[in-house]
Structure 1
Amino acid sequence: MALATLPALRDRRRLFVAAAPGFGKSWLVRSWLAGKRVTWAGADLDPGGNLDPGADFHPAAGLDPGSVEHWLVVDDLPALDTAAARTLAGRLDRLHPDVRVILVSRAPWPGRLPDGSAALDAHDLALPEPEVGRILAAGYGVDGPDLAAAVHRLTAGWPSLVHLAGRHLRTGDLASLCAPGTALDAFVAERVLDPLPVASRRLLRRLAEVGTACEELVGRRDHRTLRLLSHTGLVVPAEAPPGSYGLAPMPHWLRPVPALAAVAARREPLPEPARRRLHAGAATWYAERRVWAQAARSRSLAGDRAGTLALMREHGTAIVAAGGAQQVIEACAGAGGDLGLLRGEALAVTGRLDEALAQLTPLVAGRAVVEPGLAWRLGAVYYARAEHRAAVDALRRGRIERADTTDEALLLSWTATVHWSVGDDDACREHAHRALHAASAAGDARALAAAHVARALHAALSGDRAANAEHYTKALAHAEAARDAVQATRIRANLVSRLLEEARYPAALAGSAEAVTAAEAAGHASALCVALVNRAEALARLGRLDEAERCGERALAINQRAGSGKAAYALTVLGDVRACRGQRSMARAAYEEAVRAADTDGVRQCFVPALAGLARIVAADDPAAARVHAEKAVAHASGPLATRALLAVGWVAVAAGDRPAATAAADRAEQSARRHRDRAGLAEALELRAAATDRPSAQRAALVEAARTWQATGARLDADRVAHQLGSLAGASAEERLAARLARGALEAAGVVLTAVGPAARPPHLAIRVLGRFEVVVNEVPVPASTWRSRKARDLLRILVARRGRRVAREELAALLWPDDGDEQRIAHRLSVALSTLRSVLDPDRRLPADHYVCAAPAALAADPAHMDIDLDVFLGEAEVGHRLHEQRRPAEAREVLAAAERRYAGDVFEDDPYDDWAVPVREEARATYLRVTRLLATLAAGRGDTDEAVGYLLKILARDPYDESCHRDVTDLLKLAGRHGEAMRARARYEAAMRELGRSAAAAG
């Protein structure tokens, strides 16, 4: 449920829980009060009767008062009028001070809650979307984020409706969920609608017809009923209806739960005359507030075709701009003239590009010169399809006379935009300047917004980031002044692109969420795709690859449905994600498709990144083709795109072993990145520089700077990748090697596949597990027992690993391995054989120097931890780093590192072989470290108020040390503090039993 534990009531003694049937009120209360002293009263409660759960109820002598706290639960409390509520409140006031009360009802409390009371309503109990997805997957075997979102949208998180949807979806589909005869239909009709008062049912029927509404729209007479429906969960908060962008002040919009509305509208439909009157009244209300899209929709639903078309002629452009394109499409179907032109624009905004062309193309047939309004609309359609030659041709036909009208300014702005897309700096600059002059002469905010966007695009193309920011700021201000949601969403999406170019990934992620929401509300398909691609890139940089892939796939689907060549943008970001995951074939396919789509008509902004990605993905398998792709990317690159193209040239050279060419490319890429303030490009140029040199000092210097740059951007996977490279350098410090191991684990957890840099082959990866069961893994394949051929070779490795890189004298090894043999010569031979066997197991192909894993001196042997992934070393290192972070007062980072250490501790050192005396010191060290780590995690959890997590860690300590007195006391105290007195009493009993086994009493112990 949304509230898994009892809300913190602090000094309040009463909790009132009100929601419609099916919100799980009683179930929640029972789960909250499990283990507590509870008296239940039913629906037949007399508010004037005796509520006291016991006339002689007093704290028991000698017991902690907290342990006798009593709860009174009045379940299914009937709806109360004001007098009955006052009487009940008086009775509650006279209850014993140790009695706390929960009242559960299907109706809100009438008027103001009594003093000392808290309240929860349906919105507090509704399930969030992630929980809906979990229930559908775990309970009913239906999965998928899109399905979870759809069910959440239909049910608004109403728990019973979610479960009914899950059962239905096992065999049915979403479209039939609310159909007559379904379980959901029956539940809503019998349990929700039938018991409602007449006024509530009447208002629900009206809301089901209108959709989104507010108090002012439904009328003063129904305000109280609307609030009642809202508190009980039948009506929920809603987004503003399409076309209301910029409305001020913005009302509090509401809508009935869609599944409920579907059943209510079918079961009790409004009579046709009442329905028409309802929509006519709504049309008047919306028109008074200049929400023309909704006014037109309501007029149409009222049957007023003439009035609808009149609104379209007068305000159609404003309706499209404010996000009402769908209303225009429906209202203007079959209309010609200016309304046909308007409908073509609306079709383009919603992504129905083929239909838009079919609407607009006949209007230019046989004409060399056309009106500017027709030219820019047709050019915008071709631009959205990424058909730039056709877009330029359509825009050139536009007639410009004095360049002082809105349509002329928009024509010039779109012309500049198309030239920006193909990288034509001069043409873009000329038309952007003319557009701004024309928009200023026209004095139209919408035209000024478009002109400043054109100027911002040219500034980006020429590398003037200050001018780019200035013009976008002005553009957004003009768009908002014009109530132009379509341009505002385009600007917001472009601003996120700017954040990505500056490698400000957390800010880009936050901005992309707003941009996606705004584009969806405006119905702007092209801006939505840009926002989704931007969001995918930000998510990928921040290490959330699954979400990034879903965003990219959604953008791709929208573009493909629209028939747009701009699908290349989504394909490129999908190629980037799949390349990061090591899915080389899938990445190559995505890049190749992106190159084909972008090259069709010169989408340079995407053509260059797609070529660069393709060059890098084929570099190892086809160096010649990779070089051709990279050089072609450089030839087509301009502005900030040059950095990515030059990096591709460099990485292709690294793969081919051409260090001079790689160094030259790194130099040029670094210059380009600095010129365009591209921090990500700069960091990668430094990585390229490190890969292009064989001097360890130069490698270290470049990688250290790259690591700092990536960390500053928040690009988690990139920072981890560089940390892994730093830890692999010769002479890396112990701390760098630990950071590399942590980074490798984080990369693997995110699904990133680490690949070798350059042509040299990687040495075998050796992992040794000593926590719990001893195991050796070479190249991710466990070494079977039969491979060892000698138990002594295996024991030799265990001893060396336990010494953690310290030298062990040959005499000591002989005494440990062959304690009963006194023949020194024979023992020396045996040790040599065991060492040889060990080396053959760790490096079966003899590819590495003999002392790569085990260094052998005349007098001693030592394992080299730098070349081994030993879980014990990682665990101890994580514990040390976690404690240091805690001391530095960085609790979130400390918790992440310490939790990783706690999970890594699979058991005591060599737990499968516990009788070797030489293992005792390291075993005790690791065990003590584990207990210290776990206790600190419990402390951190308790500090955050997370009782369950804190108690969980303390119980893990008790599982390993049942006699830890302070741990027993902490468990008991935490449970009591959380009000979980039954659990606290049981914890106290376990404590007392443990102390009795030691011959001590719990009281004496503490």
Structure 2
Amino acid sequence: MAFTTVAEPPPGRRHLLVTAAPGFGKSWLVRSWLADHSPTWADGDTDLSAVDGWLVVDDLPPLDHAAASALAARLDRLPAATRAVLVSRTPWPGRLPADSAVLDAHDLALPEPTVGRVLAEQYGLDSPDLARAVHELTAGWPSLVHLAGRHLQTGTLATLCAPGTPLHGYAAEHVLAHLPVPQRRLLGRLGELETACEELVGPRERGTLRLLARTGLVVPAGAPPGAYGLTSAPHWLRPVPALAAVARQREPLAAATRRRLHADAAAWHAGQRIWAQAIRHRLRSGDLAATAELLREHGSAAVAAGGAGEVIDAVTALSTGPDAARGANADSRSASTPSPDAHGRGDGPSRRTEVSLLLLHGEALAVTGRLDEALACLTPLAASRDTLEPGLAWRLGQTYYSRAEHRAAFDALTRGRLDRADTVDEALLLSWTAAAYWSVGDRDACHDHALRARDAAAATGDDRALAAAHVALALHAALAGDRAGNTEQYAIALGHAEAARDAVQAARIRSNRLSQLLEEARFPQALAESVDAVAAAEASGNATALTVALVNRSEALSRMGLLDEAERCGERALAISQRAGSGKTAYALTILGDVRARRGQRSLARAAYEEAVRAADTDGMQQCFVPAMAGLACLVAYDDPATARRHAQTAAARANGPLATRALLAVGWTAVAAGDGAAATEAADRAESSARLHRDRAGLAEALELRADTIDRPSARRTALAEAARTWRATGARLDADRVACRLGQLPGASAEEQLASRVARASLEAAGVLASTPDETASAPHVAVRVLGRFEVVIDETPVPGAAWRSRKAQDLLRILVARRGRRVAREELAALLWPDDDDHHRVAHRLSVALSTMRSVLDPDRRLPTDHYVFATPTALAADPAHLDIDLDTFLAEADMGRRLHDQRRHPEAREVLAAAERRYTGDVFEDEPYDDWAVPTREEARAVYLRITRLLATLAGQRGAVDEALDYLLRILSRDPYDEAGHREVIALLDAAGRHGEARRARQRYTAAMRDIGRDTEITA
């Protein structure tokens, strides 16, 4: 049963203190460490001087400073060879014994992936979402994870902590009942606050808070919503949610105590300018007037700092009266939006909601992606009015913009009054108007409004307004193809957003900057920065920025060859935008179309592209319409050339700026499919010029590929493809580089190295689930794969050939022999001797061989569409398999191994690891492992096995050099599973384990080594 993730005690320390609350598996962990030893288990009164070797003091009772000092002195006097482990539920007070290490609850808690494995393997609960929820509730507390697993086999998350459940009983009896009163009281208050820090609880409680943290009852937490941009960020903590839930049920706080606790928390958060939390706690204290005042004065800042959810809760509670306010909590975010009357005020049981709060409510709803509710809140305020206050106009326009309803957005934005253009609301109105013009591709109008926004924002001196204005200028620079200007303006904008503590705008900026990296084909950097962009968008509550960040991350993952994760990101972005009712679903649909087209999932890709085109075309969203239409054109180019060309021309007619490159490439590829070489050449020229103008390396590489398809001379085609391959490799787009490598190896006159690289690239593409051929190529011949590593099998177009199809075992054996000779000619006389060794009638044997050859060919090409020598050459004297037309796993394995070794010799270690690891995974068994007694297979079998052992040892060496001990051990153990008498392998395993301080495992490895050497007559031993 899995309890912890700590595999070995910290090396090189004489004494170890293991401290955590009950249920963290402390004793289990120590017993597993010392399974190969004979430790002395003692209590605090044992005579320690008589101990030799390992001493374990289990369940050490709480010590005061005097008792701890006395025990430390006794431990210090132990012989140097004695190592002590002290196991306790409470932290050690005062000075630790000399040469000590400490493991606490943080070290023993299970990370989320381990929680997932425990739930799946031990309780049959194989759901990543469930694992995430259980980890969140338990913070990885091992016993609570197992109790949750047992409960969830028949129960639900909602009842996990209810009275009468095993988790509730365990937490109450084994944890809370043994806590000192001060710790239990503080835990109850922390459960009410949910997130706290030492500064918030005050100096009197700091020591208690630290004790709770060290024993695992309180764990590190992310900053609460609305805390973005604090100059001196506190160390935030939260109680383990499951434990806090049980504590609240057992000892609920009195109403007066709860109100006073929230009032004090509101005052502290207001002093720190964490307005969202100040609003939240003021509301929960029951002070509605003070809550409304905070909302009016600081509500917009709270939304900007990432506290939109807290603002929604507060406005909703105020609109429905004191009863709702007293019960306001996270669940209130699903409450209905207040309804304004004709005067722009909403009616509640005790008061009318002011227009300013309605504006704030609409803004917060729009930020969190609840766009329909935001419109329901804001639209009545604009009814029957020719002009709008700028604050209403930009909020309403931004909401329509987020829905990608640009006509409605322009209607709202252009009705906004610009009396002086020197207020924050006027600057924001101009900025969002510029963004709307960017989205429809109107460069001049975008530029004009961005400049006016900058001037207005400068007049206010407000950082939030300046950030929005410089985002508008960055969007214009992107539309104009000014990469340097785009980068500069985003940098300025981010500086202002951070100065304003505007998490919403900062998340938008980070998401948009990812687009720039992708347009410049800086894929590894984009992938790395996408992690922060997604996290920033999640923390800010900005649903639109999160959608964009996920779409951009999906594209980076796709380009880097991580298609499964790319599809998950795209699907998550689609779900978010669909919940928001946003036309920006087109962005997610387009990237899903791209990923599925790469995988050859043509129907799914077409459906995604067509839906994206409809969504983007509804309101003139050119930034997405052009890529979706271009992708659709390329997808159907060979199925319906005429329709594809119309799609491509439509995309080109509506493209401007960097989008022109993708549209022109679509024009070129559809021309190639239609056989129009002149149009394809012209499109390649224009696409290349556009790519160079906009610093689009991916577009340039694809334009070179397109040019290669318009060239007749093989040498010129090779030159264009070689440059495309180099460009793709420079961008980090592995799958695109592999695709071009496949084409290079298939050119007439390709060198041996190009053919080798082509086979390796094709295997890499297949492993990623990508089609290596274009649609017209796949129609010409079936794909025939011959598998000889492990079990012999022939697979035609992904369908295994059944045994009955062969009709003759000799035909099957003939193919096996030819494949084993790896393309070399085999004399007919030799084949006859191998297949019919006891038959001396040469005429009869020759006839049998001809029949076997005919049978084999009929299996490989059942429809007889291909020349008879397509798969197997035949002359009057010899036969040979054609490796160019047969996908043979043995050939690919040996090619990958050879390439990986050469990359290693060139010190290109990351690339070498990738290629060698692919080769190692491919080796699923010895050659013809299912037929081990054929003598003719022995040389090939031994050669492949020797290569496998060499590359696996090399992988172990590379892993060891990186400090990846477990990975290196895994490779070495695979070697020993193939060859248990590999002396060097045994020695390397022992050396790695000793160096890592994993002495119990090293001892067992020595025993295995000694036994193996004894089996072969060598009395060799390794001493520690």
TM-score bucket of the superposed structures, by smaller chain: over 0.9
Candidates 806, 812, 826, aligned match of 1:808: 826
Alignment of 1:599-618 (within 5 A): 599-618=617-636
Aligned partners of 2:967, 2:427: CA distance in 1, in Å? 61
Indicate whether 1:73 and 2:91 are aligned.
no
Candidates 238, 251, 257, aligned match of 2:221: 238
Alignment of 1:95-494 (within 5 A): 95-333=78-316, 334=319, 335-494=353-512
8 Å Cα contact 2:434-2:445 kept in structure 1? yes
Task: For 1:382, give the aligned amino acid.
Answer: Y
Partner of 2:951: 933
Partner of 1:20: 21
8 Å Cα contact 1:435-1:451 kept in structure 2? yes
Partner of 1:49: 46
Candidates 742, 754, 759, aligned match of 2:760: 742
Matched residue SS, 2:306: coil
Partner of 2:38: 37
Q: 1:852 to 1:324 in 2, by over 3 A?
A: same
Task: For 2:167, give the aligned amino acid.
Answer: L
Aligned partners of 1:329, 1:991: CA distance in 2, in Å? 67
| CA offsets 1:622-659 (integer angstroms, 9 cap, x no match) | 33333332222222211111222222223333333444
Task: For 2:683, give the aligned amino acid.
Answer: A
Offset of 1:263 from its aligned partner? 1.9
8 Å Cα contact 2:708-2:718 kept in structure 1? yes
Partner of 2:326: none
Candidates 673, 681, 684, aligned match of 1:666: 684
Q: 1:18 to 1:992 in 2, by over 3 A?
A: closer
Indicate whether 1:865 and 2:865 are aligned.
no
Aligned partners of 1:380, 1:963: CA distance in 2, in Å? 71
Offset of 1:491 from its aligned partner? 0.9
| CA offsets 1:341-366 (integer angstroms, 9 cap, x no match) | 22222222122222222222222222
Partner of 1:840: 858
Offset of 1:977 from its aligned partner? 4.6
Offset of 1:252 from its aligned partner? 0.9
Matched residue SS, 2:158: helix
Partner of 1:799: 817
Report sequence identity in percent: 72
| CA offsets 1:792-812 (integer angstroms, 9 cap, x no match) | 444433333232222334444
Offset of 1:861 from its aligned partner? 3.2
Unaligned runs of 5+ residues in structure 2 are 320-352
Indicate whether 1:705 and 2:704 are aligned.
no
Aligned partners of 2:369, 2:157: CA distance in 1, in Å? 25
8 Å Cα contact 2:33-2:1000 kept in structure 1? no
8 Å Cα contact 1:805-1:864 kept in structure 2? yes
Q: 1:357 to 1:30 in 2, by over 3 A?
A: same
Partner of 1:588: 606
Task: For 1:10, give the aligned amino acid.
Answer: P
Offset of 1:116 from its aligned partner? 0.6
Offset of 1:751 from its aligned partner? 2.9
Q: After alignment, is 125-134 or 860-869 more displaced?
A: 860-869
Q: 1:433 to 1:840 in 2, by over 3 A?
A: same
TM-score under structure 1 length normalisation: 0.93
8 Å Cα contact 1:347-1:353 kept in structure 2? yes
Unaligned runs of 5+ residues in structure 1 are 58-69
8 Å Cα contact 2:759-2:895 kept in structure 1? no
Aligned partners of 2:155, 2:697: CA distance in 1, in Å? 51
Aligned partners of 2:843, 2:483: CA distance in 1, in Å? 77
Task: For 1:171, give the aligned amino acid.
Answer: T
Task: For 2:17, give the aligned amino acid.
Answer: F
8 Å Cα contact 2:75-2:97 kept in structure 1? no
8 Å Cα contact 2:534-2:546 kept in structure 1? yes
Matched residue SS, 1:194: helix
Q: After alignment, is 676-685 or 814-823 more displaced?
A: 814-823
Q: 1:624 to 1:8 in 2, by over 3 A?
A: same
Alignment of 1:480-879 (within 5 A): 480-693=498-711, 695-758=713-776, 761-819=779-837, 828-879=846-897
Aligned partners of 1:971, 1:550: CA distance in 2, in Å? 38
Aligned partners of 1:542, 1:926: CA distance in 2, in Å? 30
Aligned partners of 2:183, 2:648: CA distance in 1, in Å? 67
8 Å Cα contact 1:450-1:475 kept in structure 2? yes
Q: 1:655 to 1:76 in 2, by over 3 A?
A: farther
8 Å Cα contact 1:654-1:758 kept in structure 2? no
Q: 1:774 to 1:303 in 2, by over 3 A?
A: closer
Task: For 2:75, give the aligned amino acid.
Answer: L
Q: 1:628 to 1:176 in 2, by over 3 A?
A: farther
8 Å Cα contact 1:655-1:759 kept in structure 2? no
Task: For 2:143, give the aligned amino acid.
Answer: S
8 Å Cα contact 1:282-1:295 kept in structure 2? yes
Q: 1:670 to 1:370 in 2, by over 3 A?
A: same
Matched residue SS, 1:768: strand
Q: 1:846 to 1:309 in 2, by over 3 A?
A: same
Matched residue SS, 2:161: coil
Matched residue SS, 2:178: coil
Q: 1:472 to 1:859 in 2, by over 3 A?
A: same
> What's the Cα RMSD here?
2.7
8 Å Cα contact 1:506-1:714 kept in structure 2? yes
Matched residue SS, 2:776: coil
8 Å Cα contact 2:5-2:108 kept in structure 1? no
Offset of 1:484 from its aligned partner? 1.4
Offset of 1:830 from its aligned partner? 4.8
Aligned partners of 1:555, 1:968: CA distance in 2, in Å? 49
| CA offsets 1:600-628 (integer angstroms, 9 cap, x no match) | 21111111222222223333443333333
Alignment of 1:78-97 (within 5 A): 78-97=61-80
Alignment of 1:951-970 (within 5 A): 951-970=969-988
Partner of 2:347: none
Q: 1:917 to 1:605 in 2, by over 3 A?
A: same
Aligned partners of 1:204, 1:794: CA distance in 2, in Å? 73
Task: For 2:366, give the aligned amino acid.
Answer: A
Aligned partners of 2:27, 2:119: CA distance in 1, in Å? 22
| CA offsets 1:539-579 (integer angstroms, 9 cap, x no match) | 22222222222222222222222221112111222222222
Offset of 1:459 from its aligned partner? 0.7
Q: After alignment, is 284-293 or 658-667 more displaced?
A: 658-667
Q: After alignment, is 144-153 or 479-488 more displaced?
A: 144-153
Offset of 1:780 from its aligned partner? 2.9
Aligned partners of 2:770, 2:976: CA distance in 1, in Å? 37
Task: For 2:477, give the aligned amino acid.
Answer: A
8 Å Cα contact 1:353-1:562 kept in structure 2? yes
Task: For 1:397, give the aligned amino acid.
Answer: R
Q: How many residues align?
A: 988
Q: 1:729 to 1:430 in 2, by over 3 A?
A: same
Task: For 1:179, give the aligned amino acid.
Answer: A
Aligned partners of 1:409, 1:950: CA distance in 2, in Å? 59
Offset of 1:420 from its aligned partner? 0.6
8 Å Cα contact 1:657-1:758 kept in structure 2? no
